[in-house]
Amino acid sequence: MLKKILSFLLLVSLSVPFAAKADEGMWLPMLVKRLNYTDMQKKGLQLTAEEIYSVNNSSLKDAIVQFGGFCTGEFISPEGLLITNHHCGYGSIQSHSTTEHDYLTDGFWATSKDQELPNEGLFVDILVRMDDVTSKVLEGITPATTQEERAQLVAQRTKAIAQEASENNQYVTYVRDFYNGNEFYLFVYNRYTDVRLVGAPPQSVGKYGGDTDNWMWPRHTGDFSMFRVYMAPDGKPAPYSKTNVPYKPKHFLPISLSDKEQGDFAMVFGFPGRTKRFMTSHGLKLEVNQLNKSRIKLRDQKLNLWKEDMDKDAATRIKYASKYASTSNYYKYSIGQNAGIKRMHTIEGKIADEDKFQAWANADAQRKATYGNVLGDIASAYATIEKYNLGSIYLNEAVLGTEAMMLGYRFIPLYNSLKAGNAAATQKAIEDLRPRVESHFKDYNLPTDKKVFAAMMKAYSEDIAKDQQPEAFKSLVSKYKGNFSKLADYVYGNSFLMSEQKVNDFLKNPSQKKLEADPAFQLINAIMMNYVTNIAPKMAESNAILDKANRLYVAGLRLMNPDKVYYPDANSTLRLSYGTVKDYSPQDGVMYNYYTTLDGVMAKEDPTNEEFVVPAKLKQLYQAKDYGRYANSKGELVVNFITDNDITGGNSGSPVINGKGELMGLAFDGNWEAMTGDLVYDPDYKRCINVDIRYVLFIIDKYAGATNLIQEMTLVNDGNPGAADAATAEVKTKTPQAELLNATMEEANEKLRAGKTEFKIEKKKGDAKVKLQVKD
């Protein structure tokens, strides 16, 4: 009992987002100097704040990109070589794969720049600067301003600020809100759209452990892939062209070959997507009972249907590989999160926070006037939203989760412009559709999607309140007497949206009549119209109440705890988190080490399970212990390691950087014990799972033989005698300069200064300290 009370108290004090002693927080880089720098130094940071974030001089931030809008990547060479996760590059790798050239299974390595593969639609955003524009956005807005007026003013002003900062659309710009609408920051980016695939390991390395190991520690995944960013010869962003040249980053990360020890400083720089750390217990209940629950149910069906067909046919397996991976990712996340919320008493912790807030608000008449009703408003807004929420969740997960319905949905703008007789809008709608149609059919298998459609429509029909379903849908269901496979036969058998040829013919000569007569379009249009006219308006009023109440809740919390430094929820903007290399205890009596090795890869091997196949070449290297300079000082090949950095989805591919600004690894996942991490940071359990950069280099160099890529990078090794020995051995066998390692540091440096390769040899406390740098 005592233990229960204790753990409950612990929980309570942790459930609102402020940085206590824990390494919690996703900080805005421009504020690091003021808010975090001293603490970071204490933990082992050796860089200056300016070296981390500077607008005028090159700094770490210039090496970090938002990759494709959904992941993070970082430059590791002066020639625009970029590294991110395998699961971030997965869509691109998949799109270049065929049954003849199956890069998913076999991996891909460009041995020269002309072999690199362009990726339509892929882009990277590189931050130019960020500015606090709160006072501009909120100018003249007072507590007396109505929520509606405020929302309007905020929308207008943020749009105008972003537009002006874009300097005639030269930059990609936007203003995002922070702390639930209490603060506003402008972001200015250069967007580069010529991003080419350079290298990817086979998925038996890059996705080793598959969905079984996903969201889990201990882990053994080589989750990386490489791209190169290109620019016009004048340095500006430009669409793919043969005349483009490699991008020259203002900064790229040197790579550390050193061992990592428990307690070592680690920072993660990247683009976390979304956290809900300020979400109240009322919101959380809907997350558990409606969002996660529906997602688990619907995705479970969809994944099984996809898998059935993927296992039958290699072409279908390739077509659905990427869709399957991303659908299963948040399927498993939702399962883990719901279990975690129960186990960790997350809702109870939130309720305790809210009780404290209410008591604080009630203790003062003036405070009561502003904050006294905040939680009551939140509760009643959610009570309304709860009634309609499933309709909007099912729209996303079930209806638009069917590929043909999604394609039909894309035709709505065209339909509207045809109906309005607007020729210019029609033309634009057609142009917008073309690439979508192409990518839809490239990876489409009609019989598979038809089965999914039948299952999803059945769920929609059964789970959504009848008065929230459109008449057109209900009458279809009764016409087919609830036989959804017959209903699917009818819709898929009679719609032109099922054939690429017919869709393209239609786009040449589009007609409103033909769209209106199409059963698939009729259906999606009816469901959308029903949503827009019957469901969304019912939620709109409650959402506006929520916007205001959530804003006041955060403002109140900050007032209530003036000494706490609160950090804002993640919102896909550049953040820095810092912490240390750290093991953890997943449960009583069990301790997890902070790193895994190739031995563990071998221990998990199962040739009969595609998730645990170990490639023959990797086995050979393991048997020969041929790890070269990539082994640790014990001679092990470290595969993954963990830190307590505060990250979330979108951080995937983020660099894990040591105190000197060198790359130690790439963040790629979170752990099962902390699946509630997007709601509450728990220092005992929350870990960031990273691939060790030495495993990445080992795969590139020893496994793939892509030494051309290693040569572009700057490898640094200091203070790791074991690796220094390995490096020495490597150098001895490989380069004529080997003998120089026996010379003094001065001699060595002098002789090598002119060359491309530079070795610095230092003697420190009797240990040979070899600095190995490949210079441009």
The residues that touch ligand ARG, with contacts defined as CB under 6 A, are 87, 207, 210-211, 214-215, 325, 328-329, 649, 652, 668-669
Q: Least distance (Å) from ligand ARG to the CB of residue 209? A: 7
User: Cβ closer to ligand ARG: 203 or 461?
Assistant: 203
The values of phi and psi at residue 145, to 5°, are: -65, 135
Contact 700, 111 (CB under 8 A): no
CA distances from 205 to 84, 142, 479, 635 (A): 15, 56, 50, 21
To which residue do tokens 């980016």 refer?
A: 189
DSSP structure class, residue 581: B
Q: Least distance (Å) from ligand ARG to the CB of residue 571? A: 17
Q: Least distance (Å) from ligand ARG to the CB of residue 493? A: 34
Q: How far is 740 from 582, CA to CA, in rounded Å?
A: 38
User: Cβ closer to ligand ARG: 172 or 696?
Assistant: 696
Q: Least distance (Å) from ligand ARG to the CB of residue 43? A: 25
Q: Is 212 helix (H, G, I), strand (E, B) or coil?
A: helix
3-state secondary structure 630-650: HCCCCCCCEEEEEECCCCCCC
Q: How far is 272 from 282, CA to CA, in rounded Å?
A: 24
User: Cβ closer to ligand ARG: 221 or 280?
Assistant: 221
Kindly give, in sequence order, each residue whose CB lies less than 8 Å from that of residue 742, ignoring residues fewer than 6 positions away: none
User: Cβ closer to ligand ARG: 322 or 632?
Assistant: 322
User: Cβ closer to ligand ARG: 87 or 295?
Assistant: 87
User: Cβ closer to ligand ARG: 597 or 652?
Assistant: 652
User: Cβ closer to ligand ARG: 87 or 350?
Assistant: 87
Torsion of CA 594, 602, 256, 628, to 10 degrees: 140
Contact 468, 535 (CB under 8 A): yes
Q: Least distance (Å) from ligand ARG to the CB of residue 439? A: 20
Active centre residues (catalytic): 87, 223, 652
The residue among 686, 653, 660 whose CA lies nearest residue 270 is: 653
**Other C-beta atoms within 10 Å of 235: how many?**
11
Instruction: Find residue 691's DSSP bridge partners.
Output: 640, 666
User: Cβ closer to ligand ARG: 104 or 476?
Assistant: 104
The residue among 709, 736, 374 whose CA lies nearest residue 560 is: 374
User: Cβ closer to ligand ARG: 87 or 551?
Assistant: 87
Q: Least distance (Å) from ligand ARG to the CB of residue 670? A: 7
Q: Least distance (Å) from ligand ARG to the CB of residue 329? A: 4
Q: How many residues does the chain have?
A: 776
Q: Is 266 helix (H, G, I), strand (E, B) or coil?
A: strand
Q: Number of C-alpha atoms within 13 angstroms, CB side, residue 300? A: 11
Instruction: Find residue 124's DSSP bridge partners.
Output: 67, 192
Strands (E), 105-232: 108-109, 117-118, 124-132, 172-178, 183-192, 194-200, 225-231
Q: How far is 67 from 669, CA to CA, in rounded Å?
A: 16
The alpha-carbon radius of gyration of the chain (Å, integer) is: 27
The residue among 661, 663, 667, 660 whose CA lies nearest residue 643 is: 667
Q: Least distance (Å) from ligand ARG to the CB of residue 204? A: 13
581's tokens: 């290399």
Kindly give, in sequence order, each residue whose CB lies less than 8 Å from that of residue 515, ignoring residues fewer than 6 positions away: 411, 414, 415, 418, 521
Q: Least distance (Å) from ligand ARG to the CB of residue 92? A: 15
Q: Least distance (Å) from ligand ARG to the CB of residue 84? A: 11
User: Cβ closer to ligand ARG: 86 or 629?
Assistant: 86
Contact 43, 265 (CB under 8 A): yes
